[in-house]
């Protein structure tokens, strides 16, 4: 598989992952029974597996690894934060207010991850003030 196809798969999986997270967050906030559907519990995990596999494959092809490249380390750190906040937002938050705060924070972290990916800079918003 050529790199362009792999990158397209990765970007598509990112878009699907975020869309599913956003929709599940809306459903969580509105108390929708759709959250209990089997596909809602399975599809995000399948998609995120594709996303992770494509990301790992790209790091191998490009020979750019977290710990070696600051922007990639920032993406991985952001991803860990995003996953943690997502877990609080969709499952572990004890109150609706906590889940809402985590859902909003996760979206801000997602925006940071995308900005880092596009800029290849761990401080993508700092370029304007440097």
Compute the average pLDDT of residues 63-87.
90
Contact 69, 117 (CB under 8 A): no
pLDDT, residue 125, reads 86
pLDDT in tens, 47-68: 999 999 999 999 999 888 788 8
pLDDT, residue 14, reads 96
Compute the average pLDDT of residues 2-8.
93
Could you give the percent of the chain with pLDDT greater than 90? 82
Task: Check whether 127 has a pLDDT greater than 80.
Answer: no
pLDDT, residue 67, reads 81
Contact 16, 47 (CB under 8 A): yes
96 or 130, higher pLDDT = 96
Both tokens assigned to 26: 């809306």
SS (H, E, C) the chain: CCHHHHHHHHHHHHHHHHHHHHHHHHHHHHCCHHHHCHHHHHHHHHHHHHHHHHHHHHHHHHCCCECCEHHHHHHHHHHHHHHHHHHHHHHHCCCHHHHHHHHHHHHHHHHHHHHHHHHCCCCCCHHHCC
Both tokens assigned to 61: 């092809």
Question: For residue 103, which of 32, 15, 21 has the smallest C-alpha distance?
Answer: 21
The model's confidence at residue 69, banded by pLDDT at 50, 70 and 90, is: confident
pLDDT, residue 64, reads 80
Question: For residue 75, which of 63, 85, 84, 65 has the smallest C-alpha distance?
Answer: 65
Task: Check whether 71 has a pLDDT greater than 70.
Answer: yes
Global pTM value: 0.88
């Amino acid at each position: 598989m050529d790199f362009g196809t792999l990158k397209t798969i990765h970007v598509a999986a990112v878009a699907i992952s975020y869309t599913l997270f956003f929709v599940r967050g809306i459903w969580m906030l509105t108390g929708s029974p759709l959250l209990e559907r089997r596909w809602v519990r399975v599809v995000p995990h399948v998609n995120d597996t594709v996303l992770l596999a494509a990301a790992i494959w790209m790091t191998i092809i490009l020979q750019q690894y977290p710990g070696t490249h600051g922007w990639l380390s920032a993406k991985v750190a952001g991803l860990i934060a995003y996953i943690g906040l997502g877990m609080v937002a969709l499952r572990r938050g004890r109150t609706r207010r906590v889940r809402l705060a985590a859902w909003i924070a996760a979206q801000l972290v997602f925006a940071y991850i995308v900005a880092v990916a596009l800029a290849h800079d761990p401080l993508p918003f700092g370029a304007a003030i440097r």
